[in-house]
Structure 1
Amino acid sequence: MTIRRRPLGASLLALALALPATAARADEGMWTFDNFPAERMEQAYGWAPDQAWLDKVQAAAVRLTGGCSASFVSPDGLILTNHHCVASCLYDNSTAEMDYLDKGYVADRRDLELKCPGQQAEVVTAITDVTDDVKSAFAGLAGEALTKARDARIAEIESANCTDTATTRCQVVTLFGGGQYKLYTYRKYSDVRLAWSPEDRASTFGGDPDNFNFPRYSLDASFLRAYEDGKPVSTPGHLKWNPRAPKEGEVTFVVGNPGSTSRLYTQSQLDFEREVRLPVTLTTLSELRGRLITAMEESPEKEREGLDTLNGIENGLKVYIGRTKALNDPAFTAKLAAAETDLRAKSAGRAETGDPWSAVDEAVDAYRALYLPSRFLTPSGDLFGYASTLVFAAQERAKPNGERLPGFTDSALPLTEKRLLDERPVYPWLDELMMGWSLSKAREYLGVDDPDSRLLLGKESPEGLAERLVTGTKLADPAVRKALWDGGQAAVEASDDPMIRYALQLADRQRALRDAVNESYSGPLAIAGGQLADARFAAYGESLYPDATFTLRISYGQVKGWEERGQQVPIMTTMGGTFERATGAPPFDVAKGFAANEAKIDKAAAFDFVTTNDIIGGNSGSPVIDRSGTVIGAAFDGNIHSLGGNYGYDGTLNRTVVVSTDAVQEALEKIYPAPALVKELRAK
């Protein structure tokens, strides 16, 4: 399993899950912009946005390639997102003398805005259905031959539609497990800078205990800016900033890029999650958390340098614990099973449907034997990640575009190159810890005598090998990486850098495993997924939403609390509640900026609020938009019940947690003053 730093939220027994195979009900759904269910929303709320409204919102929605969502909120490229979405930017710009993650950052002038390594902002400009084109490329094929033909055609489509890779990006996205293929065209901005961010404790007040819970008192908001040719980009299609409190029952929209869901999984896929993937993930991440905390306690420097990684690990652990609880809840899983039974019954007798369930069962059975080596044969750590990227890029760039692996095609290379070459700090102790941990877990799960364990370790210990490679490599220097990138295959193969030699040592086996997975798992699933999608469309109509794929979606809902243990949970918290909740001890210690400016803060101002919008990880930073099309908040979390949302949605319990524009305005004016931004947000 590869773990790197982030550049990279129940009462489940009562979960009344809307069946995933049927048409969506209530406020369920992460809808694509080319299939928004306007009629269904109008029936529920008496109003739905028209196409002009949708077009305007789409033009202002931003995808951050670090794994978050955002929106343009001024005519000069100003971007609203979450604090935790820019934490890595703060971290990468910090030094021992100036810890921006801890203290926050306010750029008094635009020329002082901080560049964010590896970050790119993208706006969807077109969505095109290329299903028939892609499917025709692999008609009659199976296994590895199918995936190669499919990927080759996808590479051709992306290359043909985005000839200007400096300003555009094309990405063919698989939807409904292979039932549809859509070409997403993006206007991209590769120069993204940090304009304003509060201190870390303002965002993380309540820490892990409050994570995925409500009430919350979190200022999880920050502002970036997109640049081009050294100047802020012009964004006339931005959303209007509306600093106000939410109104109970009002309609809200969340527009962003939900990362991944598994709501269309079959029973055998869910069994694999519960029996294999989730237990391995929980066990290994728990050990990593313990190792990292122990190391961070050694010095203040390590505490600072490890914090961003620790935050990501703890957040992930809570997510996976919630998913595990969901898949071990008999009431929850019974509803999933009933959904599959219903779809099977409606598909019985349709010759064109075939038996995709049996095909998925066989593919999952085959994958069980491949999962552990596939997971553990790629060690963790930034430095190994650089080496592996250089090795595969050198090998793939020597091939025709249509024969390359995903991630190394013409359309994908610019972002791959940016992430590789952008300058950012690498901390050797942290890389050693990450690599040593991942190698030790590989040996533990694969076995000492397994050929893959021997390939990974030879006769060295996991920690000894990690120390030798990390201390010997020069890949922390971006100039060294650039020389190898520019030198191509000849330079990489001639390199005596130990991390490069190690990545070369593993590459052939990694390719062989990928081919085996394509042959017995990915290829069969591509066919079965298409059949399952056709069965769903035939049974329930085409007003369905696909699983999340970190592509632009829109969900609708309303500001609404829920009932917890017989008590009604309020829709929002206020700024003053922060001081009432504070204990003085971490993580309930008030941020220094809040404490210093308590007398100035309007304690009645709205802080965080909840809505029924359907979201998942990746939606972090998504604008929360009202009926008039103005932004009234940024989504940053879900409540504890939403952790089962990977597999299904329950409108009575699942809630999106939002930081209000009312609170952000208070912070901009009184806590972390930024008068230039206040003025900019008022611009028309």
Structure 2
Amino acid sequence: MRKLFLSLLSLCALGAHADEGMWTLYNLPTAVYDQMKQYGFQLPMEQLYKSDNAVKNAVVNFGGFCSGVVVSPDGLVFTNHHCGFDAIRQHSTVEHDYLLNGFYAKSYEEELPNKDLFVSFMIEQKDVTDEITAALKGVKRSRQGHVVDSIENAWQKTIRQQDSTLRVEVKPFYEGNKYYCTTYRDFNDVRLVFTVPKSMGKFGGETDNWMWPRQTCDYSVFRIYANPKTNGPAEYSKDNVPYHPKSWAPVSMQGYKPGDFCMIMGYPGSTSRYLSSYGIQERRDALNAPRAQVRGVKQKVMLRHMRADEAVRIKYDSKYASSSNYWKNSIGMNKCIDSIGLIQQKRQYEEKISQWLSTHEAPEAAGLDFSKMADLYQKRMAVSKARTLFIESFFMQDQLTYRAMRIQWNMRVEGPKDKPKKQYHLFKDNSDEWDFDTDREILVALMKNYREQITDDTYLPDFYQTIDKKFKGDYEAYVNALYNKSILMKSDKPIYFNKKSYKKDLGVQYGLSISETLEKINDARQKLNSEIAEQEKLLCAAVLRMEQDMPNYSDANFTLRMTYGQIGEYTLGGRPSGYYTTARSLWEKMQKADQNFEYFAEPVMHELMAQKDFGRYADALTGTMQLCFLSNTDITGGNSGSPIFNNKGELLGLAFDGNWDSLSSDIFFDRQLARTINVDVRYMLYMMDKWGHADRLLKEIDAK
């Protein structure tokens, strides 16, 4: 939703800003489109969503966690380097380290397939609120998700009978006040085509993450493959051919200037703009703070091992990047929440809602009670913090715990169905994905830290008693015993779970202890979750009714959205940020690599960035090659890899980050400070040309 609370001084003038928001396209408000035209947008409204060559037809959900854009008639896809990071890592070895050295497939035959990677095109979206609401009438909130799932499955079956390549998703919008059904077409054969070295694709690492100015060349290139007979989705086959879309995004070499219209389409993951002040407080104290604390402990161990061994670095690079991204985000968000007094601002806005409800009819918000909401959140605060500490410490953080929990949760049963004693579980050898010493040390550190951080012994797993009694408080000895003696760590060997010895195994006992504690925590939260969710839904309904004459957008939920705005800088502390970075600024940072290893780049990169003449890749206005640029568009996690377009629907680059000064934007969009950091497509093409010598790709893209 639009920001409801800009500042204490403007509290009485709260309301929609048409250039803020993550808008669904099928029902885009006319007022929003009119504002886009005032900013300079030149395409007719139907070319956003409805027409055969609609802009949205080129935008993809990349892998279920990022966004991307099709840029050629042969199915070439641009996304961020950090979105393709794990796929690149999986193809990397010490001998052929594509993550470190980059990769370019010089022919279709050299393009690398990726297990479990897919892209999805949104076909259509529609409002199904009436159907879902009718089905949910009289159903307890705790059961409503099951009902929605059953409806989705029925609709899925129906649409598959019409077209087997389609699937549907039914999701709640506006805190469950509405439901939309979205139809997708998935392509499961997606191959790696090109990536720059990590030194460029992740330049600046955690030092520069969420910061401006940025010089990161954050992109990678993949290709969609299709059934050669139908040009439709197909599972991987050597016989598949490049996908030929009806339309794709044209790539612009014309650049941008301050004030120019821009538009981003992609799949923002999750925002909480309607969230109550009490929910924001819980997020600050029970989610962000403990998440940052635990990840800081884990990352310290990972980084030390990664820097000491190249093989370990390859295995953990993606894990470390994933962890550290929202470690820093959590720290930055809490900083912003406190610096602008966001909780107090939201409380004052809630008082305004209460006053409005006292004099207006809003039956859909009947039952909203801020006192009740405050009490419910207060009761849930401690257990929410315990859950965050627990999940961050034990949920899939190391291989032993991963296996110990998997085996408790209906893991696949092997062996004869009629002979229980011969049935077994089997863990395949995945030693190429983790390191023995690194994993053990991570688990030791997290076990110690959890016990130090948890304040209620109710949520202390009973394996701690085993550590105290049998191992005399020695965490390392306990973890060594788990890794060295537990049957869970025997890869490619049957684990017969109906034998008496199974339940006596130390790893099995550890997994049972973990599962029981998580169940205890979840049960404690579940008693409050439904009531809190209902109050948040009523709060959203009240806002929608109070602001019914204004355009409203729903919180992000990883469905296709459009956000628009203008190219431009921001000012903080009286200092203008500048709206783009240059090759020279990158070269200057590279010279500091002896002080900060995250500024390292190969000698060839120094040479490329030290050029005086960048030819067709130089900006006509500034005369230099621009690397990254700012826009005042509205994004969040999931938007990584989203295309940013100009007023003609031509590709200017890819969104890849937000800025540190507005990291509370998931819950509060600060119109003065919030900016999207984008990588310039001319920088991307320059690297394909001068470093990769990828002539066939440049010809295929045909940038103008």
TM-score bracket for the superposition, by shorter chain length: 0.7 to 0.9
Question: Is 1:587 aligned to residue 598 of structure 2?
Answer: yes
Partner of residue 368, structure 1: 381
Note closer, same or farther for the CA distance 1:472–1:261 as it changes in structure 2 (3 Å cut). Answer: farther
Partner of residue 50, structure 1: 45
- Deviation at 1:125? 1.3
- Deviation at 1:619? 0.8
- Deviation at 1:453? 1.4
Note closer, same or farther for the CA distance 1:583–1:466 as it changes in structure 2 (3 Å cut). Answer: same
- Deviation at 1:180? 1.7
Partner of residue 612, structure 1: 632
Note closer, same or farther for the CA distance 1:568–1:442 as it changes in structure 2 (3 Å cut). Answer: closer
Tell which deviates more after alignment, 298-307 or 182-191.
298-307
Partner of residue 425, structure 2: none
Partner of residue 695, structure 2: 675
Query: Partners in 2 of 1:223 and 1:476 — Cα distance?
Result: 37
Match runs of 1:515-530 below 5 Å? 515-521=523-529, 523-530=530-537
Question: Is 1:354 aligned to residue 366 of structure 2?
Answer: yes
Query: Partners in 2 of 1:167 and 1:438 — Cα distance?
Result: 44
Aligned-partner residue type, residue 27 of structure 1: D
Say which of 94, 100, 110 aligns to 1:112.
110
Partner of residue 661, structure 1: 681
CA deviation map 1:385-431 (0-9, x unaligned): 466456545599xxxxxxxxxxxxxxxxxxxxxxx999973333343
Say which of 337, 355, 362 aligns to 1:327.
337
Note closer, same or farther for the CA distance 1:499–1:207 as it changes in structure 2 (3 Å cut). Answer: same
Q: 2:462 touches 2:513 (CA, 8 Å); kept in 1?
A: no
Aligned-partner residue type, residue 310 of structure 1: Y
- Deviation at 1:477? 10
Tell which deviates more after alignment, 659-668 or 339-348.
339-348
**Secondary structure of the equivalent of 2:462?**
helix
Query: Partners in 2 of 1:619 and 1:302 — Cα distance?
Result: 29
Q: 1:115 touches 1:194 (CA, 8 Å); kept in 2?
A: yes
- Deviation at 1:325? 1.0
Query: Partners in 1 of 2:430 and 2:243 — Cα distance?
Result: 21
Query: Partners in 1 of 2:211 and 2:10 — Cα distance?
Result: 22
Tell which deviates more after alignment, 80-89 or 289-298.
289-298
Query: Partners in 2 of 1:467 and 1:448 — Cα distance?
Result: 27
**Secondary structure of the equivalent of 1:195?**
strand
Note closer, same or farther for the CA distance 1:184–1:23 as it changes in structure 2 (3 Å cut). Answer: farther
Q: Percent identity?
A: 24
Query: Partners in 1 of 2:661 and 2:516 — Cα distance?
Result: 43
Q: 2:312 touches 2:434 (CA, 8 Å); kept in 1?
A: no
Query: Partners in 1 of 2:178 and 2:498 — Cα distance?
Result: 40
Note closer, same or farther for the CA distance 1:540–1:351 as it changes in structure 2 (3 Å cut). Answer: closer
Aligned-partner residue type, residue 571 of structure 1: Y
Partner of residue 623, structure 1: 643
Query: Partners in 1 of 2:107 and 2:625 — Cα distance?
Result: 28
- Higher relative contact order (CA closer than 8 Å, sequence separation 6+): 1
- Deviation at 1:192? 2.0
Note closer, same or farther for the CA distance 1:451–1:226 as it changes in structure 2 (3 Å cut). Answer: same
Partner of residue 417, structure 2: none
Q: 1:259 touches 1:550 (CA, 8 Å); kept in 2?
A: yes
Partner of residue 421, structure 2: none
Note closer, same or farther for the CA distance 1:568–1:520 as it changes in structure 2 (3 Å cut). Answer: closer
Aligned-partner residue type, residue 533 of structure 1: C
Partner of residue 424, structure 2: none
**Secondary structure of the equivalent of 1:315?**
helix
Query: Partners in 1 of 2:88 and 2:121 — Cα distance?
Result: 23
Q: 1:62 touches 1:72 (CA, 8 Å); kept in 2?
A: yes
Q: 1:260 touches 1:548 (CA, 8 Å); kept in 2?
A: yes
Partner of residue 92, structure 2: 94
Aligned-partner residue type, residue 598 of structure 2: P
Unaligned runs of 5+ in 2: 226-233, 414-427, 619-623
CA deviation map 1:96-122 (0-9, x unaligned): 222211111111122222233442211
Partner of residue 271, structure 2: 261
Note closer, same or farther for the CA distance 1:365–1:565 as it changes in structure 2 (3 Å cut). Answer: closer
Query: Partners in 2 of 1:75 and 1:534 — Cα distance?
Result: 44
Partner of residue 224, structure 1: 222
Partner of residue 308, structure 1: 318
Query: Partners in 1 of 2:79 and 2:172 — Cα distance?
Result: 26
Query: Partners in 1 of 2:30 and 2:491 — Cα distance?
Result: 49
Question: Is 1:380 aligned to residue 420 of structure 2?
Answer: no
CA deviation map 1:172-194 (0-9, x unaligned): 22222221222222211222221
Query: Partners in 1 of 2:14 and 2:478 — Cα distance?
Result: 51
Note closer, same or farther for the CA distance 1:506–1:161 as it changes in structure 2 (3 Å cut). Answer: farther
Match runs of 1:12-31 below 5 Å? 23-31=15-23
- Deviation at 1:62? 0.9
Note closer, same or farther for the CA distance 1:150–1:20 as it changes in structure 2 (3 Å cut). Answer: farther
Match runs of 1:473-492 below 5 Å? none
Aligned alpha-carbon RMSD (Å): 3.8
**Secondary structure of the equivalent of 1:241?**
coil
Q: 1:74 touches 1:236 (CA, 8 Å); kept in 2?
A: no
Unaligned runs of 5+ in 1: 1-12, 397-419
Q: 2:128 touches 2:180 (CA, 8 Å); kept in 1?
A: yes
- Deviation at 1:306? 3.1
Partner of residue 228, structure 2: none
- Deviation at 1:60? 1.4
- Deviation at 1:61? 1.1
- Deviation at 1:660? 0.9
Partner of residue 7, structure 1: none
Query: Partners in 1 of 2:176 and 2:397 — Cα distance?
Result: 32
Q: 1:425 touches 1:476 (CA, 8 Å); kept in 2?
A: no
Question: Is 1:280 aligned to residue 290 of structure 2?
Answer: yes
Q: Could you tell me the TM-score, scaled by structure 1's length? A: 0.83
CA deviation map 1:586-619 (0-9, x unaligned): 3333444423545575562221111111111211
Note closer, same or farther for the CA distance 1:218–1:386 as it changes in structure 2 (3 Å cut). Answer: same
Note closer, same or farther for the CA distance 1:667–1:351 as it changes in structure 2 (3 Å cut). Answer: closer
Aligned-partner residue type, residue 129 of structure 2: T
Query: Partners in 2 of 1:311 and 1:264 — Cα distance?
Result: 29
CA deviation map 1:11-33 (0-9, x unaligned): xx997899799643152111112
Q: 1:380 touches 1:435 (CA, 8 Å); kept in 2?
A: no
- Deviation at 1:520? 2.1
Aligned-partner residue type, residue 339 of structure 2: D
Q: 1:245 touches 1:605 (CA, 8 Å); kept in 2?
A: no
Question: Is 1:40 aligned to residue 32 of structure 2?
Answer: yes
Partner of residue 546, structure 1: 554
Note closer, same or farther for the CA distance 1:615–1:451 as it changes in structure 2 (3 Å cut). Answer: closer
Q: 2:362 touches 2:542 (CA, 8 Å); kept in 1?
A: no
Aligned-partner residue type, residue 366 of structure 2: G
Q: 2:301 touches 2:442 (CA, 8 Å); kept in 1?
A: no
Match runs of 1:361-440 below 5 Å? 361-375=374-388, 376=390, 378-381=394-397, 383=399, 384-385=401-402, 388=405, 391-392=408-409, 394=411, 425-440=433-448
**Secondary structure of the equivalent of 2:19?**
coil
Tell which deviates more after alignment, 546-555 or 242-251.
242-251
Query: Partners in 2 of 1:134 and 1:21 — Cα distance?
Result: 35
- Deviation at 1:664? 1.1
- Deviation at 1:289? 2.2
Query: Partners in 1 of 2:142 and 2:194 — Cα distance?
Result: 48
Paired residues in the alignment total: 642
Q: 2:88 touches 2:99 (CA, 8 Å); kept in 1?
A: yes
- Deviation at 1:331? 4.1
Tell which deviates more after alignment, 93-102 or 17-26.
17-26
Say which of 525, 533, 537 aligns to 2:540.
533
Q: 1:57 touches 1:239 (CA, 8 Å); kept in 2?
A: yes
